[in-house]
Structure 1
Amino acid sequence: MAGLRQRITPAVNAILRLWLLVCFVPSPLSSITVSSPAELHASKGESVILSCMFTSTSRPTSRMSVDWSYRPPSGGAPQTFFHFSSKAFLPTVGQFSGRVRWQGSPARGEASITLLNTTLTDNGTFTCAVRNPPDVHGSPTSHTVLTVTPKVASVRFTDVAVLLGFILIPSALVTLGLIARMFCSQKEHSRQSKAYRSPIEVTEEDEYVAWQMRNTMKKKKKLCCDLDLADSEEEYYSQKNRPPVEDGIAESQC
């Protein structure tokens, strides 16, 4: 009898170990995987979709549930603000009250939500957790870090047109007026300089003109002298026999 007990005990132990292994070790066929973007960026006042996709070996049933939680950058325990189980339970109090919309479709493996009118206090980590019994193993959660920045003021075309009309166009007109005034002043100054130029200010062109005038005067004077001498000789020979003039013969003016 004692020998029989000794033979049965190892067999019972083996069965117990196999049963524990089947019950408590997760089956690779009964697992769920949840995925979402690691980071998201949004400007203040915009709406942002917090995407969450899941894959499950079992078809989603009424027991499937989705939970969204938020943890601020300062840390602390995550705070659940959204729950889905057959229908969406939107937050009615707290930071996200009235700013969450359900965008999920369990049949397509989607558990996304939309966060409306984002604020700077929405910066932090959002966690999506999906459960679909009997698929309760694997990676049922995923995290997304949301960064909200101040909205950059956009410049519209009408604003640019107003700036052009009130600043650039008057400036261009003033500049053109100054250029025209400077041109007229230079022209008037040049005219006055020519009219009232000092005798000392003689250019090469003026010297050349004066030289030509002097040569011309010399030539005219020489020609005049030649003509006067010729006339004098003719008068001398023609009047040789005439009585001398009392006052004498006038001297040449050459």
Structure 2
Amino acid sequence: MRRPLRRTSALNVVLLLYWLCCLAPSPVSSITVTTPPEVHASKGDTVTLSCSFTSTSRPTSRMTVDWSYRPQSGGPPMMFLHFSSRAYPPTEGQFGGRIRWQGTPARGDASISLINATLNDNGTFTCTVRNPPDVHGSTTSHTVLTVTPRVPSIRFSDVAVLLFFILLPSAVITLILIGRMMCPKKERNQSKAHRSPIEVTEGDEYGIPGYTHKEDRAKCRDLYVMVRVQNFYKAINNLLRHVCEIHFT
């Protein structure tokens, strides 16, 4: 009687272990995808849309990455990039030729870059990563992109250096010309104030008081200098306008 009891108890233990193995929850792998909540950029920038993931399973050829976009004005999301062993960026449409794959799946990176961002790119970008057998967890993450117009700014560049070397000599030349215009007038006024009563000038011989050929030549020289200064300033203004148009366009 003891042997059948021992066999029955052993059989019951085996059945109990079998049912425990069948009914126990199997360990399920999980995945977590992370992206920055917001990204800000200026018009014309190259924007990096980061996406990282952690998986309990090593990435294999079965792993896939999908990037989709939903406009700020609303509407259904649109998938524009698919990765499966290799990246398939868009060749047409809104993002045609402007998406570059930057990810390294072996390191848990599924990032992309958006070239020449425009105001029409404002919206929500979604990164979705699947890595079987990881079927549970947070497989998607969202990033809101905000693109603003670029604010014109003057930077110390080659153009600024060129303008500096143009304006500095022009200022020096202008001061010299103004000095030449002012100094002869003072000399003439002083010589006229100390002239002897019996001194006969070239103009007095002909009965024209206060008239001399020297003053006539001085006035012509001053007028010539003024015209040269005006032409010089016009040339500088045209050059600066042309340089600024090139710099800000």
TM-score range, shorter chain: 0.5 to 0.7
In 1: Cα distance, 2:188 partner to 2:72 partner: 75
1:78 — aligned with what? 77
Question: C-alpha deviations, 1:144-180, integer Å up to 9, x for none?
Answer: 2223344547767553355456655345423322233
Say if 2:109 is the partner of 1:101: no
2:133 equivalent to 1:134: yes
Are the structure 2 counterparts of residues 174 and 61 from structure 1 closer, same or farther at C-alpha, using a change threshold of 3 Å? closer
Residue identity matched to 1:144: T
When structure 1 is superposed on structure 2, of 72-81 and 29-38 the one drifting more is 29-38
Q: Which residue does 2:145 correspond to in 1?
A: 146
% same residue: 55
Q: After TM superposition, list the pairs within 5 Å mapping 1:193-212 onto structure 2.
A: 193-195=193-195
Q: Distance in 2 between matches of 1:114 and 1:150?
A: 19
Distance in 1 of aligned mates of 2:174 and 2:104: 66
- Compare CA radii of gyration and give the structure with the larger one: 1
Distance 1:192 1:122 in 2: 78
Partners of 1:164 and 1:143 lie apart in 2 by 48
The residue aligned with 2:37 is: 38
1:80 shift after superposition: 1.1
Alignment correspondent of 1:89: 88
Structure 2 length-normalised TM? 0.58
Q: Relative to structure 1, is the Cα distance of residues 79 and 190 closer, same or farther in structure 2, using a 3 angstrom cutoff?
A: same
Deviation at 1:193, TM superposition (A): 2.5
Local SS of the residue matching 1:191: helix
Task: Report the counterpart of residue 221 of structure 1 in structure 2.
Answer: none
Q: Relative to 1, partners in 2 of residues 1:112 and 1:161: Cα closer, same or farther, differing over 3 Å? A: closer
- What is the letter of the counterpart of residue 59 of structure 2? P
Pair 164,59 (structure 1): closer, same or farther in 2 beyond 3 Å:
closer
Q: Tell me the secondary structure at the aligned position of residue 179 of structure 1.
A: helix
The alignment covers a number of residue pairs equal to 176
Q: TM-score by structure 1 length?
A: 0.57
List gaps (5 residues or longer) in structure 1.
1-14, 198-254
User: For the structure 1 residues 161 and 62, does the alpha-carbon distance in structure 2 shift closer, same or farther, using more than 3 Å as the test?
Assistant: closer
